[in-house]
C-alpha cells in the first residue's frame, strides 16, 4: 500500500464580499495559474495521483489493450462527394494509420456517386494528400485542427491549428495545385472560417474574455484585412458559415436565449451584411438558405420552436410565413433545405430523430414524414450535404448497442443502405462484438416533486440484476444539451466486466423539450442536482446496484452536477469522476473579466448585480458547501490551458475537500499540462486517459476480495 501523502497547499483566506455577505476564500491565491507555486502544486498532485494508482497499472494496461484490440486503427472515414466546377467530381476523406495519433486528409477523383472508395481494396486509390496532421503535430504536446475547407473551385485549402489547447488557432492557406503554402498566415483567431468566393476568406477574432466578437475578411495576397462586423454586447458570440450553394455568407450572433442572423452575397464587392430579422430579447432564430427562399427555425410564440419561410430578401420577422407551428415537448432542432426536400432534425421522446418534408416543383413544402428505426433507444442525425439538387441524403445512426453507422437514404423510394458501420474488432478474451449480447433500456426515477426522470441503461445480457453489479451513472444537465444514446468502444470494457452504464437525463438538459431545460436552470437549477440523486437512489432501489458499487461521472457543467450531488447525498456513491469540473461557479460568474462569464449569466443568473442569484448559486456551489464526514472517493481530471473552466476551480475544490471532509477515501487530481477543455488530443493518449479513469472507477467500486473461510 502506498505511503504517499497528498499535497497540502497553504490556506491564505481572502474576503469576497457581495450583497452584504462575506466569504473567506482560503485558496483565492490559486487564481494565478502561471505562478510557480501553483504549477508546483499541480505537478505534486500529478505525482500523488500516480503514486496512489500505481497498483492499477495492470488493469489500465488491460483496458487500453481492450480499446486498441477493438479499434480498426488503419481506416478511412466515409468519403464525402464534392463537385468542383472546372475541376471535376471528388471524394474527400480522412485516413487513420496504426501508430499515428492524427489522421491524414485526402481526396480522389469520383467516377460515380455510387462507387465509394473501398478501404479494403488492394487497388491503390488515385488519391491526393491534402494535409498530414500527424506531420503537422510533430514536436507538439497538443494538436487540434480548427478550420478545414476548400472553395468551390477546389484549388486551395484553408486550415487552422491549435498547439496549446487554448482554442486559439493559426490560419494557413495551401495551394493544392503546387502543394506549397501561401505567405498568408493569421495568428490568434477563433476556430471556424468560410471561403467568400475563390480568393477571400472570413474568420473571427476574440476579445479579452476570449469571446468571438469580430468578423474579418481576408483577401489572399493582401495584408490589410477588412473588419465586417463587431458584436459589442458581451452576452453574444459571433459565428460564420456559408450557404449550401456557396452564394451567401451567413453570420450569426447568439447569446443563451437570443440570436440574430445576417446574410451577404458572396460575389458582392464590397461585402454588405443584411439582417434577416431584428434582434428581440428572448427570441432565437436560425436561418437556412435555400436556392429560392429562407427557412427559419424560431421560438417566437413557440417554446419548442416552429418552422417558417421567407423571401431571400427578408429583413424582418413580420415577413415570416408559418409552415409548422411546433408541438409542445417536440424540440425542433434545425432544418437542411435541398431543392427536393426539407430534412428536419428534432428531438422527440428524448431521442434525436429525422423527418422529411418533400418539396414540389414550385418549392412548396409538404407534410412531415418521419424516418423510423426499430430500436427503442437510438440517435439519428442528418448529414448536412453540399449538393442542393440531390436524390439522396445521409444519416448518422447509433444506439447504446449499435456502433455508429452512416446510412444513405433515397428520396424517391425511401430505401436505405449502410454505407459504413463502425467496425468493432474481435477481442482476444471477450470474442466478437454482438449487439444481441447487450441490453439497452429506459427506466424512470421519481424526483422529490413527483417528476419522472428518464434513465438510459445498457449492460450485458448475462449481468445479474440482483443489486450486486457495479454501475456508472453519468450526467450533465445544462445548456439544453441532451445526452443522446450513443455507442462507445471504451464503455465495453466496463460492460464486459459486469458493470451497468446509466445516463441520467436530468432537468437542465433538453431531452424532453424546452420546458425540461427551463426547469433546470436559473431559479430552478437545484432540480438538476436532486434529479441526479433521485436517479442514483432509483438504481439501488430497483435492484441494479448498491451504493458501495455505484460511481458517478460528469464533466464541465456535469462536474458541477456531480459535485453538488455529493454534497446533497455523500452516501449515494462510492466513487466520483469529475472532469474539468465547474465547481467554483460563484467566484467565476462574479468576475466579468473571466472568459465566458457574461454569457453565462443567462444560464446561471447574474450574482454580481442580483442578490437572489448570488444566494441561489451560493446555496449549491460545490466548493462552498463541502461538509465534514463521509465522502466518496474522488478523481478530478483537468487541463492547465482550459479556457472554459479554469484549472483554478478544481484545484481549489480538491484542496478544500481534503481539508474539510477528513475522509480516508482518496481524493486525487490529475492535470494535463498541455491541453484544453477537451483534454489530450492524440487518440492513443485519449485511450490511455480513458483506461486510467475506468481502472480507477472499477478499483473504487470493486467488491472486497474474499478471504479463506468466507
What amino acid positions are annotated as catalytic residues?
A: 556, 642, 677
CA atoms of 635 and 55, how far apart (whole Å): 16
C-alpha cell, 534: 433521485
CA atoms of 670 and 580, how far apart (whole Å): 10
CA atoms of 250 and 261, how far apart (whole Å): 7
CA atoms of 170 and 146, how far apart (whole Å): 9
The secondary structure of 283-297 as a DSSP string is --EEEEE-SS-EEEE
- C-alpha separations of 612 from 522, 607, 617 in Å: 10, 7, 9
CA atoms of 21 and 5, how far apart (whole Å): 35
* Sequence-separated (6 or more) residues with CB below 8 Å from residue 41: 7, 9, 30, 651
Give the SS3 label for residue 401.
Answer: coil
C-alpha cell, 677: 477543455
The CA R_g of the chain, rounded to the nearest whole Å, is 26
Q: Is the peptide bond before 270 cis (omega within 30 degrees of 0)?
A: yes
Q: Name the maximum alpha-carbon separation found in the chain.
A: 86
CB atoms within 10 A of CB 609: 11
CB atoms within 10 A of CB 192: 18
CA proximity to 116, closest of 413, 406, 412: 406
600 near 560, Cβ under 8 Å? no
593 near 209, Cβ under 8 Å? yes
CA atoms of 697 and 611, how far apart (whole Å): 39
321 near 309, Cβ under 8 Å? yes
CA atoms of 118 and 103, how far apart (whole Å): 17
CA proximity to 359, closest of 349, 370, 367, 371: 367
574 near 703, Cβ under 8 Å? no
CA atoms of 350 and 199, how far apart (whole Å): 44
CA atoms of 502 and 628, how far apart (whole Å): 29
DSSP conformational letter for 482: -
With left for phi above 0 and alpha for psi between -120 and 50, is residue 706 left, alpha or beta?
A: beta
Beta bridge partners of 336: 343
C-alpha cell, 613: 442569484
Residues in the chain: 710
208 near 591, Cβ under 8 Å? no
Amino acid at each position: 500500500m502506498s505511503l504517499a501523502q497528498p499535497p497540502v497547499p497553504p490556506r491564505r483566506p481572502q474576503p469576497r464580499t457581495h450583497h452584504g455577505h462575506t466569504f473567506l476564500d482560503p485558496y483565492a491565491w490559486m487564481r494565478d495559474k502561471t505562478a510557480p507555486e501553483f504549477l508546483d502544486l499541480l505537478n505534486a498532485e500529478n505525482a500523488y495521483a500516480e503514486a496512489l494508482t500505481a497498483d492499477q497499472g495492470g488493469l489500465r494496461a488491460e483496458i487500453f489493450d481492450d480499446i486498441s484490440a477493438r479499434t480498426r486503427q488503419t481506416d478511412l472515414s466515409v468519403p464525402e462527394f464534392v463537385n468542383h466546377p472546372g475541376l471535376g467530381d471528388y471524394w474527400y476523406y480522412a485516413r487513420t494509420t496504426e501508430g499515428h495519433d492524427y489522421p491524414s486528409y485526402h481526396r480522389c477523383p469520383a467516377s460515380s456517386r455510387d462507387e465509394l472508395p473501398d478501404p479494403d481494396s488492394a487497388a491503390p486509390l488515385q488519391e491526393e494528400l491534402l494535409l498530414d496532421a500527424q506531420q503537422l503535430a510533430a514536436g507538439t504536446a497538443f494538436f487540434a485542427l480548427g478550420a478545414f475547407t476548400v472553395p468551390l473551385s477546389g484549388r486551395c485549402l484553408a486550415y487552422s491549428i491549435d498547439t496549446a489547447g487554448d482554442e486559439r488557432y493559426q490560419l494557413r492557406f495551401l495551394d493544392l495545385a503546387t502543394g506549397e503554402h501561401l505567405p498568408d498566415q493569421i495568428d490568434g483567431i477563433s476556430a471556424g472560417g468560410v471561403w467568400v468566393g475563390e480568393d477571400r476568406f472570413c474568420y473571427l477574432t476574440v476579445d479579452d474574455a476570449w469571446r468571438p466578437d469580430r468578423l474579418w475578411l481576408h483577401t489572399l495576397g493582401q495584408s490589410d484585412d477588412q473588419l465586417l462586423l463587431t458584436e459589442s454586447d458581451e452576452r453574444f458570440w459571433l459565428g460564420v458559415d456559408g450557404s449550401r450553394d456557396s452564394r451567401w455568407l451567413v453570420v450569426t450572433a447568439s447569446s443563451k436565449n437570443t440570436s440574430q442572423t445576417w446574410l451577404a452575397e458572396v460575389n458582392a464587392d464590397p461585402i454588405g451584411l443584411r439582417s434577416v430579422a431584428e434582434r428581440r430579447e428572448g427570441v432565437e432564430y436560425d436561418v437556412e438558405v435555400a436556392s429560392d427562399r429562407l427557412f427559419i427555425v424560431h421560438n417566437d410564440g413557440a417554446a419548442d420552436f416552429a418552422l417558417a419561410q421567407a423571401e431571400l430578401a427578408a429583413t424582418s420577422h413580420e415577413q415570416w410565413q408559418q409552415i409548422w407551428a411546433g408541438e409542445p415537448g417536440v424540440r425542433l432542432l434545425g432544418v437542411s433545405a435541398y431543392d427536393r426536400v426539407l430534412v428536419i432534425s428534432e428531438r422527440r421522446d428524448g431521442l434525436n430523430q429525422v423527418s422529411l418534408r418533400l418539396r414540389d416543383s414550385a418549392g412548396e413544402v409538404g407534410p412531415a414524414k418521419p424516418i423510423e428505426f426499430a430500436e427503442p433507444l437510438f440517435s439519428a442525425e442528418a448529414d448536412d450535404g453540399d449538393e442542393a439538387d440531390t436524390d439522396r441524403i445521409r444519416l448518422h445512426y447509433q444506439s447504446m448497442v449499435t456502433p455508429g453507422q452512416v446510412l444513405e437514404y433515397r428520396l424517391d423510394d425511401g430505401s436505405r443502405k449502410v454505407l459504413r458501420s463502425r467496425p468493432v474488432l474481435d477481442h482476444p478474451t471477450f470474442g466478437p462484438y454482438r449487439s444481441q449480447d447487450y441490453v439497452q433500456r429506459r427506466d424512470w426515477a421519481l424526483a422529490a416533486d413527483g417528476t419522472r426522470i428518464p434513465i438510459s441503461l445498457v449492460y450485458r445480457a448475462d449481468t445479474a440484476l440482483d443489486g450486486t453489479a457495479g454501475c456508472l451513472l453519468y450526467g450533465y444537465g445544462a445548456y439544453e444539451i441532451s445526452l443522446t444514446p450513443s455507442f462507445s468502444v471504451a464503455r465495453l470494457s466496463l460492460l464486459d466486466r459486469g458493470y451497468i452504464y446509466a445516463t441520467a437525463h436530468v432537468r437542465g438538459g433538453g431531452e424532453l423539450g424546452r420546458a425540461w431545460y427551463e426547469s433546470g436552470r436559473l431559479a430552478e437549477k437545484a432540480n438538476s442536482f436532486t434529479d441526479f440523486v433521485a436517479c442514483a437512489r432509483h438504481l439501488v432501489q430497483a435492484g441494479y446496484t448498491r451504493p458501495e458499487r455505484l460511481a458517478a461521472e460528469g464533466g464541465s457543467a456535469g462536474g458541477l452536477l456531480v459535485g453538488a450531488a455529493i454534497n446533497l447525498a455523500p452516501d449515494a456513491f462510492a466513487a466520483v469522476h469529475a472532469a474539468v469540473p465547474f465547481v467554483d461557479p460563484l467566484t467565476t460568474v462574479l468576475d466579468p473579466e473571466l472568459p465566458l462569464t457574461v454569457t453565462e449569466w443567462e444560464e446561471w443568473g447574474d450574482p454580481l448585480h442580483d442578490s437572489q442569484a448570488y444566494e441561489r448559486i451560493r446555496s449549491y456551489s460545490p466548493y462552498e458547501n463541502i461538509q465534514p464526514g463521509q465522502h466518496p472517493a474522488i478523481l478530478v481530471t483537468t487541463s492547465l490551458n482550459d479556457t472554459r473552466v479554469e484549472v483554478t476551480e478544481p484545484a481549489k475544490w480538491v484542496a478544500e475537500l481534503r481539508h474539510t471532509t477528513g475522509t480516508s477515501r482518496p481524493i486525487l487530481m490529475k492535470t494535463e499540462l498541455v491541453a484544453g477543455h477537451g483534454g489530450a488530443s492524440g487518440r492513443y493518449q485519449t485511450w490511455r486517459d480513458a483506461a486510467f479513469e475506468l481502472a480507477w472507477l472499477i478499483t473504487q467500486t470493486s467488491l472486497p476480495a474474499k478471504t479463506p473461510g468466507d
